[in-house]
Amino acid sequence: MLCLGIETSCDDTGVALVRDGRLIASLLASQAKTHAIFGGVVPEIASREHSRLLGPLLDALLHKANLALNALDLIAVTRGPGLLGSLLAGIGFAKGLALALDRSIIGINHLHAHLLAAGLDQELVFPGLGLVISGGHTDLYRMEAPDKFIRLGRALDDAAGEAFDKAGGVIGLAYPAGKEMDKLASTGKPAFKSMTAPYVNNDNLDFSFSGLKTTACNLAVKAGPSVADSIFKADFCASLTKAIAETLTVKVERALEQNADIKAFYLAGGVAANSHIRRRLSVLALKRNCQFIAAPLSLCADNAAMIAYSGYLLHKQGYEHCLDLEAIPRGRQIPEDMIRAPAS
């Protein structure tokens, strides 16, 4: 079973091939430089770039894997959440391929795919607790099976990655700032006491990072020219990282207390690459006797390997979609509308 994965939910155009659960080849065209001058992703530009890049990228992928187009058995595509225009570019391309080749199509939940990506590297263990931390999402799931995720908590406003990116921008770092802030935080001390763990004094499993983002941005604006100072930068990043890591740890520990049968804790999404957050959450998992399953660093950020792999897993369970597959933008619940594939 050869599954093509297509990822276009935001500003990365990705294609990948997974055969029987093993990754064969993967290509990613990042648009980060195109959007960097605007300080964030410009949706209109992102969707145009996806449409421009998908064809040549698929050609290059097939060439790399030494395969012909008609070797594909299944087309898996991100159907949401994401930017609507970007999702439509990928879904339109996937539908064209499915029609031309007379193959099945399957729409993939991008956030579930982030968590399932670890399966390309190691065995998946259920029931699991999954935390996806990215630029647009901070979501906590109970994972019963590859096709059964129950959302326990979500970001009510800004995601953790948004806080890193915007606060990083104010101290002069290029977008997306998360990776650079991770490095800077390693050399600093959490000296800024006003950056405290946000939204922990409640009994829920949701997240809110907009207040912390504003506190961090205001602090940097007030500091004026001192933001250029390397000690200021390092301490600023260490303080923000500590506050974000603290909230994530409190909520994950709370979820583990409420779900005593959990066997593994999964960590995924671009911010899961953060060394400090990764360390704190792996220590917590160990303390709670849970296996720590994190996507390898190469699969933390957006990629199509996780989409192809999820497509393979769901198709193995007997699912597919029809050609009326809809794109679901951020903010709308992804419907459970997979259908049973006809027996082959």
Terminal Cα-to-Cα distance of the chain (whole angstroms): 12
Among 6, 10, 76, 313, which residue sits at the site for ligand KG4 (rule: CB under 6 A)? Answer: 10
d(CA 313, CA 36): 35
Distance between CA atoms of 101 and 99, rounded to whole angstroms?
6
161 binds, among ligand KG4, Zn ion, none (CB under 5 to 8 A by kind): ligand KG4
Return the residue of 107, 146, 161, 311 that touches ligand KG4, per CB under 6 A: 161
Stretch that binds ligand KG4, among 87-95, 170-178, 193-201, 287-295 (CB under 6 A): 170-178
Residue from 301, 305, 308, 338 touching ligand KG4 (CB under 6 A): that is 301
Regarding 136 and contact with ligand KG4 (CB under 6 A), the answer is yes
**Taking CB under 6 A as the rule, does residue 135 contact ligand KG4?**
yes
Distance between CA atoms of residues 16 and 61, nearest Å: 7
The tokens for 326 are: 């809809």
Phi, psi of 256 (to 5 degrees): -70, -35
Cβ 176 to Zn ion, closest distance in Å? 12
Please tell me whether residue 177 binds ligand KG4 under the rule CB under 6 A: yes
- Region from 19-27, 55-63, 270-278, 330-338 binding ligand KG4, contact rule CB under 6 A: 270-278
Do residues 170 and 224 lie in contact, with contact meaning Cβ atoms separated by under 8 Å? no
164 binds, among ligand KG4, Zn ion, none (CB under 5 to 8 A by kind): ligand KG4
Q: How far is the CB of 269 from Zn ion (least distance, A)?
A: 6
d(CA 52, CA 260): 48
Which of 25-33, 159-167, 186-194, 208-216 is the region at the interface with ligand KG4 (rule: CB under 6 A)?
Answer: 159-167
Binding flag, residue 90, ligand KG4 (CB under 6 A):
no
Please list, in sequence order, all residues whose beta carbon lies within 8 angstroms of the beta carbon of residue 235, skipping any fewer than 6 positions away: 188, 189, 190, 191, 192
Q: How many CB atoms lie within 10 A of CB 71?
A: 14
| Beta strands per DSSP E along the chain | 2-7, 12-19, 22-30, 74-80, 104-109, 128-133, 138-145, 148-153, 264-268, 291-294, 319-320, 339-340
Distance (Å, rounded) from C-alpha 133 to C-alpha 153?
A: 12
Asked if 14 touches ligand KG4 (CB under 6 A), the answer is no
Residue 91 CB, shortest distance to Zn ion, in Å, is 16
Which of Zn ion, ligand KG4, none does residue 5 bind (CB under 5 to 8 Å by kind)? none
Residues that bind ligand KG4 (CB under 6 A): 10, 134-136, 161, 164-165, 176-179, 182, 269-271, 273-274, 301-302
